[in-house]
Amino acid sequence: MIPAVSQTLARILASQTSLETVQQVSFDRPQRYQAQPVGVNLYAYDVRQAGAGLADAESGSAIANWATVPEGAGQVEISFLVVARDWTRLGEQQLLAEAITYFAQHSEIPADRLVPALQGYGSIAIEIARPIDIVALWRALEVPLQPALYLKVTVPTGELTEDSSPASLQT
């Protein structure tokens, strides 16, 4: 599921920004600044059951909730960090602004934009999100804080059917 969502987002970034190809999207964690080719790091940094809030995450009960959810039921939230790379900071800012512009205008990924592994669910919810603790995230990555876009994609985990929609897969 995570690779399929990553591939879907990579295709969107390649078609809706000044990137020329999907190959300019890296799925590696961001690195300390160094001469890197123009592109975007699209890094999945968190996966949790949909609806597991901040209090659950801090208390550890989100982990317990995973064990109580019936297999194939509900939804999963996958959080992504999007960091632009360019030869100049201005180029990075332009690329990041293009990504922000697209995702700010879309609250879902239409079914026709999904990779084959995700088709059958209907559209999938996406939002610009704020991570639980930005400073802790960047410290864990061992990279200086830098401008980034934080995305949260909500993916149904129920069985696929021809007429599945996100609403019909909720429990």
In this structure, what CATH number is given to the domain that contains residue 85?
3.30.2000
Q: What pLDDT does 52 receive? A: 64
Q: What pLDDT does 157 receive? A: 83
Q: Nearest 5°: phi and psi at 129?
A: -125, 170
- In 17-133, which residue ranges form alpha helices assigned H by DSSP? 54-59, 61-68, 89-104
Listed in sequence order, the residues at least 6 apart from 145 whose beta carbon sits closer than 8 Å to its beta carbon are 134, 135, 138
The answer to whether position 90 is within a domain reads: yes
4: nearest Cα among 171, 144, 158, 153: 153
**Overall domain count for the chain:** 1
Q: What pLDDT does 73 receive? A: 53
| Domain assignment of residue 120, given as a range | 2-28+37-158
The answer to whether position 49 is within a domain reads: yes
Q: What pLDDT does 115 receive? A: 94
- In the chain, which residue ranges form alpha helices assigned H by DSSP? 2-16, 54-59, 61-68, 89-104, 134-141, 166-169
Q: What pLDDT does 82 receive? A: 95
Q: What pLDDT does 50 receive? A: 82
The answer to whether position 168 is within a domain reads: no
What does the block give as tokens for 153? 């994609």
Q: What pLDDT does 28 receive? A: 87
Q: What pLDDT does 69 receive? A: 39
Whether the predicted model's global pTM rises above the 0.85 cut: no
d(CA 93, CA 127): 20
- Per-residue pLDDT reduced to its tens digit, 21-55: 999 999 988 887 666 688 999 999 999 988 765 44
Which residues, given as ranges, of the chain have pLDDT below 70? 33-36, 52-73, 159-171
The distance of Cα 151 from the centroid of its chain, to the nearest Å, equals: 5
